[in-house]
Structure 1
């Protein structure tokens, strides 16, 4: 059975209400956590592409990516947990793992389940919360993986109509 039911949380996946690119994050992270995510991507067999600017490169160690010069272009790791769902990780800082998803790709129960599986895999690997905030509304998560319950849970209520 699904952790979240589409009919209960569809509001949080409405691009008009939440913005099409919500911020997904793991707060209080470290370079070691970033490496665990890189290792997970490789071990899970998810399709991915790592790039720095226009250059597509082999996936490096997290410590190398996070120690780049301050004026260097922010590298990104594109991960496809399934062919139709993309997560874009940006290596902005060691202290927070952050990535974007496109809500237009996450419509319906099947895609929600893929997204929940993805959050759960990351959260379990790190033993940490993975939170989704509305686009541009950082710090107000609406759902996320809770390591204490080992589930993806709703963290906010949709507005009452």
Structure 2
């Protein structure tokens, strides 16, 4: 994928871009937690306060009384997840942080590593529009596919 070809998908319009893996399990989340420190500098927050990263996602999903955030710093690009539901991994990123081919490559490599680890396709969409897929990482083929623009 070339940065200059994704002007529409990365347009700065005040919204985030979401990264999804669908039909996931708590085991997939556990693999994401295990992988997180190798993806970038990971920080975990509970109710806005930095805390040690839980060893399992079960403890996060069992704790509905608090807000949870995992932020992964890819060297100035921040990818976040709030642990909304166990059956869908949803992460977000700000397209303002993607300003070059190198930035785009960091994001795509990050997504591909997750897809390979959990053996699921990964999609990038507009914020809160999981049905509008801009890019899809096909885990079984280890390749990216750009979908038609809406």
TM-score (norm 2): 0.92
User: Higher Cα Rg: structure 1 or 2?
Assistant: 1
* 1:75 and 2:74 correspond: no
Q: Equivalents in 2 of 1:126, 1:27: separation in Å?
A: 11
Q: Equivalents in 2 of 1:14, 1:39: separation in Å?
A: 32
Q: Equivalents in 1 of 2:121, 2:39: separation in Å?
A: 23
Aligned length: 149
* 1:58 and 2:52 correspond: yes
Q: Equivalents in 2 of 1:144, 1:73: separation in Å?
A: 32
Alignment of 1:1-161 (within 5 A): 4-16=1-13, 19-42=14-37, 44=38, 46-60=40-54, 61-69=56-64, 72-81=65-74, 83-157=75-149
CA RMSD of aligned residues (A): 1.5
Runs ≥4 residues deviating over 4 A = none
TM-score (norm 1): 0.86
Q: Equivalents in 1 of 2:111, 2:66: separation in Å?
A: 27
Unaligned regions of 5+ residues in structure 1, if any? none
* 1:119 and 1:152 in contact (8 A); partners too: no
